[in-house]
Amino acid sequence: MTRIFTYTCKFALACCVIGIAATNVAAQAPVTGVVGDVNKRMVKLFGIGGFKNLPSYGSGILVSAKGHILTVNNHILNTPGILVHLYDGRQYQAKVLVREPELDVALLKIDEEINFLPHFTFEGAATKPLAENGDWILAFSNQFKIALRDEPMSVQRGVIMSVADLRGRRGVFDAPYAGEAYFLDVIACNPGAAGGVLTNRKGELLGVLGRELKSTSTNTWVNYAVPIQATVEVQRLDVKAGKTVTNKESIVTFVQKALVGKYEATVKAKREDKGAYHGITLVVNAVSSTPPYVEELAQGSPAALAGLQPDDLILYVDGESVPTIKNFREAIKAYEPGREVTIQFQRGNQLISAKMKLTAQPKAPVSK
């Protein structure tokens, strides 16, 4: 009996060793061909102008032969123009066609007529199961703006550590998406990596690399990708029924509908002005896209007490991007007196976050 047990243990140990060896062999197998193929299906994105001390570059994924690009819905899309570098060095201007804040993605299109570009397809992708813990992955992006024109994207090799809900800190880099995410064992979410691609070792699309975020539970930086099949609830206005309806959408359905012009983004309810007072006077709104620079502050006002100063550029209100004066005014309408909001702003080369407690509108002085 003892001899049988000993033989059984030896056999199990041998199988374990063989399994580990096979895994190591798979991990070390060359992926040069896959890397070259995926690189052709990606683009480098550059914002024209933008905000100081925030990266003005990013990554994108080609999803059509005509130059449609999937990327993250981040701040570089709010700049006056977007420049695209293809894998072969060609450069084009691009424009934003549609965004979906709930998925934190956007679809762009190269301005010029173009055909036959290598790209990722989404046929059958929605029915594929999510990747699992321990699966080997490749992460491609233009992190740190290493690549320009025909230079190849950076590629990192690793594994999926876990599949769980994303709970990223709201702040300068907002985390509107809070669904399932792939958490990675590689430091993939660096400046410029947002909008990059996560694939398996065969080069098959698994997800989209996200922005730089900190976990709300651990306050540590997280490296993650949003699975292309992960779903979120999106609200839309049904004109015929005269009511708002809720549908489930994924990156797959977003791309498929957006490519044919049939995607309707999340409906934002019309905001009623709740009359909160902040005490900020912005610069003159000379053009439709004037950024919200602070002109002056009322003495003793909520903004002054929060530490804002003239010439500060307001970037976010409670994590919501406010690239123009109009956006800022619309965002602030949603808050009632007594509410504390987080303001992120730029001062020189610094990014500063401050809490601002709004008050009721001050009463006009009574004339005697």
Domain ranges of the chain: 33-227, 276-360
Global confidence as pTM: 0.71
State how far the Cα of 262 lies from the Cα of 176, in Å rounded to an integer. Answer: 23
| Element containing residue 345 per DSSP (H, E) | strand 340-347
Mean pLDDT value across the chain = 84
Written as six digits, the tokens of 130 are 């999510």
Q: Show Cβ contacts of residue 118 under 8 Å, excluding neighbours closer than 6 positions.
A: 37, 40, 41, 62, 87
276-360: what CATH class? mainly beta
Give 322's pLDDT tier (boundaries 50, 70, 90). Answer: confident
* Among 173-182, 270-279, 353-362, the least confident range: 173-182
Q: Over pLDDT 70: what percentage of the chain?
A: 83
Structure confidence at residue 203 (pLDDT): 94
Q: Is the pLDDT reported for residue 143 higher than 90? A: yes
Angle at 91 between CA 87 and CA 94, to 5 degrees: 105
Across 254-274, average pLDDT: 81
The distance of Cα 4 from the centroid of its chain, to the nearest Å, equals 57
In 3-state terms, what secondary structure has residue 330?
A: helix
Across 339-364, average pLDDT: 89
State how far the Cα of 86 lies from the Cα of 39, in Å rounded to an integer. Answer: 9
Q: Which fold has domain 33-227?
A: Thrombin, subunit H (2.40.10)
| Element containing residue 10 per DSSP (H, E) | helix 2-28
Angle at 69 between CA 261 and CA 179, to 5 degrees: 85
DSSP state of 39: H
329 compared with 363, residue with greater pLDDT:
329
Convert the pLDDT of each residue in 116-132 to its tens digit: 999 999 877 777 889 99
The distance of Cα 278 from the centroid of its chain, to the nearest Å, equals 29
Cβ atoms of residues 244 and 231 within 8 Å: no
In 3-state terms, what secondary structure has residue 13?
A: helix
Q: Is the pLDDT reported for residue 326 higher than 90? A: no
**How many CB atoms within 10 Å of residue 100?**
24
Convert the pLDDT of each residue in 1-57 to its tens digit: 444 444 444 444 444 444 444 445 555 678 899 999 999 999 999 987 655 567 889
**How many CB atoms within 10 Å of residue 261?**
8
Across 274-303, average pLDDT: 87
Written as six digits, the tokens of 187 are 């430091």
Convert the pLDDT of each residue in 290-317 to its tens digit: 889 999 999 999 999 999 999 999 988 8
Structure confidence at residue 174 (pLDDT): 47
* Among 171-185, 189-203, 344-358, the least confident range: 171-185
